[in-house]
Structure 1
Amino acid sequence: MRIYTRQGDAGMTRLADGSALAKVHWRVESYGQVDTLNSHIGLLVTCLPDGSDDLAGKLQLIQQEMFDLGSELAFPADAQNETLWQVSEQWTLRLEAEMDAFSETLPALRHFILPGGSLAAAQAHVVRTLVRSCERQLVALSHQEPLNPAVLPYMNRLSDWFFVLARVLLQRENKPELRWKKPAER
């Protein structure tokens, strides 16, 4: 089977229902950013330190959810409804519960943290910023077309989740957080 179709050579793409849409349309850009995010989550999984099977499982579940979100977005505006939507409030609640559990072992946060400290923590911060980018794109889409109301809270919580994950990774790797210093302290 050939992977290329040549159908997109003129800047158009097909949505899940077969309808055509410009590749620069808000909807196409939205699921494209979700795909980019998913790829970076996959990279993060490969950066995890040994003994992080629990985190790998959580990340791979999020990858599955990103694919589900992308499939929701791959349908046109007139197909957006509750029978199509998969992202749910339960996903957001799960992220909150996981963050609460992670935070029980972390020191209180009393300063701003710079991305970095280890390869895995740095990649978690890259993913966090990509989640924010996706979230902004999805907000823009929601101003133009219908969007599952569970998506924006989920994405908002997901970026927080990756921030907490970066802290957890540094703790597990026994590495210090990189503290932001005011200009007078540098």
Structure 2
Amino acid sequence: MVVLNKIYTKTGDAGETALGNGARVAKHSLRVTAYGTVDEVNSCVGMARLHAEGEMDAQLAMIQNDLFDLGADLCRPDMEKDGEAEYAPLRMVPAQVDRLEGEIDGMNEALEPLRSFILPGGSALAAHLHLCRTVARRAERLSMELATMESVNESAVKYLNRLSDWFFVASRIANDDGRADVLWVPGANR
């Protein structure tokens, strides 16, 4: 259980922070940047939820919880030492990726195939979901870069990859099942 009875600790005043295993690293380290960007995605999802209702809102709530799981996963290096930990570190699992894939497939059934790239926009919800998509892609790039240097859970990276796809398809659903998508017109302003 998490207990936060004092918000500021002053332990980060010199530019370092603690990872999930207690190791201290620079706040600008790639691992901290990766899980910080996941937190940014979560904040964007919170903004999108201001415009969501029903099933879409429920799915976004699940994604927000998953993103906290993902942050917990990324802030805990040394996956090979998970068995030695005092408590089992929280790791993303394939079932979370599978759930996103199933939701993407379900939403995609209502959509006509795209014949053009679409511009971020349309409804307020769609615009927010596009922002979620682009920030999720950045989190994925950072996590992939981190994976070239340190161990990163494969399911965490897969989740981020599927998540940006989820946001794209969901943005089309939010745009009247794609009928209100804003289409790109190549060279329209020449």
Structure 2-normalised TM-score? 0.88
Is the aligned partner of 1:113 residue 2:118?
A: yes
Residue 174 (structure 2) pairs with residue 169 (structure 1)? yes
Match of 1:144 in 2: 149
Structure 1 unaligned residues grouped into runs of 5+: none
Amino acid at match of 1:70: G
Give the distance between the partners of 1:17 and 1:56, measured in 2 at CA.
Answer: 33
List per-residue Cα deviations over 1:5-29 (Å, max 9, x = no partner).
1111110011223221110111111
- TM-score when scaled to structure 1? 0.90
Aligned position for 2:93: 88
Post-superposition offset of 1:78: 6.0
Q: Is the 8 A contact 1:38 1:63 kept in 2?
A: yes
Opposite residue 154 of structure 1, the aligned amino acid is Y
- SS of residue matched to 1:171: coil
1:3 maps to which residue? 7
| 1:1-186 equivalent positions in 2, closer than 5 A | 1-48=5-52, 52-77=53-78, 81=82, 84-171=89-176, 176-183=180-187
RMSD: 2.0
Contact kept? 1:85, 1:148, Cα under 8 Å: no
The count of corresponding residues between Structure 1 and Structure 2 is: 182
Q: Judging changes above 3 Å, is the alpha-carbon distance between structure 1 residues 175 and 104 closer, same or farther for their aligned structure 2 residues?
A: closer
**Kept in 2: contact 1:87–1:150 (CA 8 A):** yes
Query: Retained in 1: the 8 A contact 2:77–2:152?
Result: no
User: Gaps spanning 5+ residues in structure 2: where?
Assistant: none
More divergent stretch after superposition (119-128 vs 92-101) = 92-101
- Please say if residues 77 and 151 of structure 2, whose CA atoms lie closer than 8 Å, have aligned partners that are also in contact: no
- What's the % identity of the aligned pairs? 39
Q: Residue 3 of structure 1 aligns to which amino acid in structure 2?
A: I
Paired with 2:187 and 2:79, the residues of 1 have a C-alpha distance of: 52
